[in-house]
Structure 1
Amino acid sequence: MEYGMAGPFVGPREYAARRRRLMQALGAGSAAVFVAGSDSRRNGDVDHPFRQDSTFFYLTGFEEPEAVAVLRPGAKQPFTLIVRPHDPVQAVWVGPRAGVEGACATYGADQAFSIEELDQRLPELLRGTKELHYSMGQSGPLAEKVQRGLIDYVAARREGAQRGAVPLEAWRDPEPLVDGLRVLKTPAEVKALRKAIDVTGAGILAAMCAVRPGMHEYEVQAILEATYRGEGAIRDGFPAIVAAGANSCTLHYTANRQRIEDGDLLLMDTGAEWDLYSADVTRTVPANGRFTSAQRAVYDVVLEAQAAGIAKTRPGAGFHDVHNASLRTLVRGLV
């Protein structure tokens, strides 16, 4: 888990603490199953860059695709990882995998198995549970396979109940419980968020200093991304929006191909990612370094609205309190 020059702020102890808190919320007699992301083919023999499923990473810190985590509160071995085995041939091409041994030694699993044993191991791990926690409808080949297997398992339990076996009492979505854990950030999470924001700020400042009429939007995007990588952020949190002129009115414009003209405003909506925590910052600047009077008037209203929202942001305030404070300022200034 090596993220940039400073390394990760969130480490194995915190992942273990998250699992303990979740298992306390699940209660005895339950099991929760989580699925990692899958590789996605780009073209030929090239895959898209892999980014782990957020929930899976939040609970395990495990970065590799094609893995399953099972939590069994109260069990002798409550945390199981089912992962791709180490493959010496693949290691030559794309690097080593953690494998079964690394799942325990590096990622703190109480036991681990090869993903090739999934069909056998998953029913064994769920034996005797009263409640199953798994999020239905996840995309990806492994998630679909796991869902089919769980449905078959529940059906078998139901049929067995007719012969005296104990049926499964409930199937629940674990995401609300995980979301509850995320509401209050730990000091390590705050550090990761601050780092993502600081790196993003450095990128935006570099882009603001470099932009000139005649450049293209993708050149500004390159400045943002080069700064992020130089600061140690290995990926963006989302595709950067770099929109000049009328393009800035398209909410999720990502083509980033247009030439930037004299007199254009340039909108940048971007964020670096650190420990899988993403910043999300929008700034609008005049491409030639000076606002027109009309541009300045609108900019000042938006800046005032931002300040009004920040002033309302405090413990105990609701989302709509902040939103409405900014909205009232915008309406007063623009309507």
Structure 2
Amino acid sequence: MLDQKAWQEFAHNNRSRLLDQLPVGSAVLVRSGEETIRNRDVEYSFRVNSDFQYLTAFSEPEAVMVLKKLADSNTYTLFLREKDPEKEVWEGRRLGVEAAHQLGTSQAFSIDMLEEQLPSLLDGCDTVFVSFAELESWSALLHPVIEFAKSKSRQGMTTPTQLSDLDKPLHELRVIKQPFEIEKMRKAAQISVNGHLQAMQNVRPNLSERQLQGDLENGFWQHGAQREAFNSIVAGGENACILHYTENNHLLKSGDLVLVDAGAEYEFYAGDITTTFPVSGQFSDAQAQVYNLVLKAQQAVIEMIQPGVSYDAMHKKTLEVLTAGLIELGIINSDGESLQKLIDQHAYQPFFMHGTGHWLGMDVHDVGDYKKGGRWCKLEAGMVLTVEPGLYLSSSIQGLDKKWHSIGVRIEDDVLVTESRCEVLTKGLPRTVQEIENWMQQYSR
């Protein structure tokens, strides 16, 4: 169960911090989102918009928040579904308009009254902030609202003159995690760890990828997850060379590696881990060499994480370690070229084609800029990011020695930037070849 009091305090502070950044005469509109049909009359499980949860701590669909900042006051208005006993029997409980004061609102209305009430709510506001990622839907709503307000100008109603992107100021807040959030992220990380350990414990030849996914996600549910943070990737053998493989419908073969990229969501915060381990519990020499190289790159990046480090420096370090290792393994032929020249020529790209990580938070690929003013951001305390180098030696790569075929390795951990260095939130996993083999041997069948 969520600690509603703590969540309400967190959301209240977030609203205040956001409005502090905006000029007087601003209005902020954020939607919770709507339920979506999967097929015929079956809906996808609803998950509230992260920005809305961050600002309201309210997770029902079909709701809109309106914040207003004037010279003498700030107001928080919520539009939401009304109580409906008949629908609640079929679809679940609703908070209802009368109880919305529990969320700290200044006032609340039925969602059906949104278009009717917006003109008066926007009266006196010069600028309306909405997410430009949802600009089309907001424009469809605001156009008739502003037209109506203009028609009432002789009665003294004023209308906004500017539309601005909310994502910039709001996501700037979200990229630096507060202690409340870090607590949730530690929990999400450790729930994710338990799921991956359960998968490693249960893997065996001729098990299907889907069955292993079941073991993995059962580990999430057993330790308190509310949902998966994203669609789980369970990829055996050649499938591990497909970065976003989610079919998970092949049998796991003896002698293959399996790559598992999955994370649990706990109280709206995501974990994101990738483990790679042998289906039979024992790495081949070639698999171990590739795995060790990826682990070396990951550890080199984690060791350099601290406040002040430029975001792109981590990726550069990954490229240096992986490219040098691929040359040493004979996978890349240097032809006498320098390491830097080979990196500049993207010699690594057939084997490593993605970034070294991403921001992590309420969204698995969390919000926040990576560059500001054309320059890479520098790490700050409170940022959380993944570190996930990989190598993908597909059998389709021309000229690749067969001993490397179908070896896909990615190693990913979640890392919090602290005041001095960093903290690996996803600690507790066996990571070296020896640690993995020793750990899996306990559960060999």
TM-score norm. by structure 1 comes to 0.92
Are the equivalent residues in 1 in contact too, given 2:122–2:160 (CA < 8 A)? no
How many residue pairs get matched? 326
Question: Which residue is equivalent to 1:313?
Answer: 305
Question: Which residue is equivalent to 1:153?
Answer: 145
Question: Which residue is equivalent to 2:167?
Answer: 175
Question: Which residue is equivalent to 2:271?
Answer: 279
Superposed CA RMSD in Å reads 2.1
Deviation at 1:90, TM superposition (A): 1.1
Deviations 1:66-105 (A, max 9, x none): 0000000246561111000011001111221011123221
Structure 2: where are the runs of 5+ without partners?
328-445
Are the equivalent residues in 2 in contact too, given 1:312–1:321 (CA < 8 A)? no
Question: Which residue is equivalent to 1:214?
Answer: 206
Q: 1-side partners of 2:303 and 2:9: how far apart?
A: 35
In the TM superposition, 1:256-267 aligns within 5 A as: 256-267=248-259
Question: Which residue is equivalent to 2:336?
Answer: none
**Amino acid in the other structure paired with 2:140:** R
Correspondence 1:101 to 2:98? yes
In the TM superposition, 1:131-280 aligns within 5 A as: 131-138=127-134, 144=137, 146-156=138-148, 166=158, 168-280=160-272
Correspondence 1:110 to 2:102? no
Counterpart of 1:129 (choices 125, 128, 141) is: 125
Distance 1:331 1:10, change over 3 A: farther
Over the matched positions of the two proteins, sequence identity in percent amounts to 38
Structure 1: where are the runs of 5+ without partners?
none
Question: Which residue is equivalent to 1:83?
Answer: 80
Distance 1:157 1:94, change over 3 A: closer
Deviation at 1:10, TM superposition (A): 5.4
Deviation at 1:168, TM superposition (A): 2.7
Question: Which residue is equivalent to 2:388?
Answer: none
149-158 vs 50-59, greater mean Cα deviation: 149-158
Q: 2-side partners of 1:214 and 1:154: how far apart?
A: 62
Deviations 1:160-215 (A, max 9, x none): 77999755332101111111111221111001111111000011011111100110
**Amino acid in the other structure paired with 1:199:** I
Distance 1:261 1:221, change over 3 A: same
TM-score norm. by structure 2 comes to 0.70
Are the equivalent residues in 1 in contact too, given 2:119–2:148 (CA < 8 A)? no
Deviation at 1:277, TM superposition (A): 1.1
Q: 1-side partners of 2:105 and 2:202: how far apart?
A: 48
Correspondence 1:25 to 2:47? no
Deviation at 1:26, TM superposition (A): 1.4
What SS class does the counterpart of residue 72 from structure 1 fall into?
Answer: strand
73-82 vs 264-273, greater mean Cα deviation: 73-82
Correspondence 1:40 to 2:36? yes
Q: 2-side partners of 1:330 and 1:322: how far apart?
A: 12
Counterpart of 2:68 (choices 72, 94, 100) is: 72
Question: Which residue is equivalent to 1:12?
Answer: 8
Deviations 1:269-310 (A, max 9, x none): 001011211111111000000000000000000000000110
Are the equivalent residues in 2 in contact too, given 1:9–1:191 (CA < 8 A)? no
**Amino acid in the other structure paired with 2:37:** R
Are the equivalent residues in 1 in contact too, given 2:101–2:107 (CA < 8 A)? yes
Q: 1-side partners of 2:28 and 2:142: how far apart?
A: 11
**Amino acid in the other structure paired with 1:125:** L
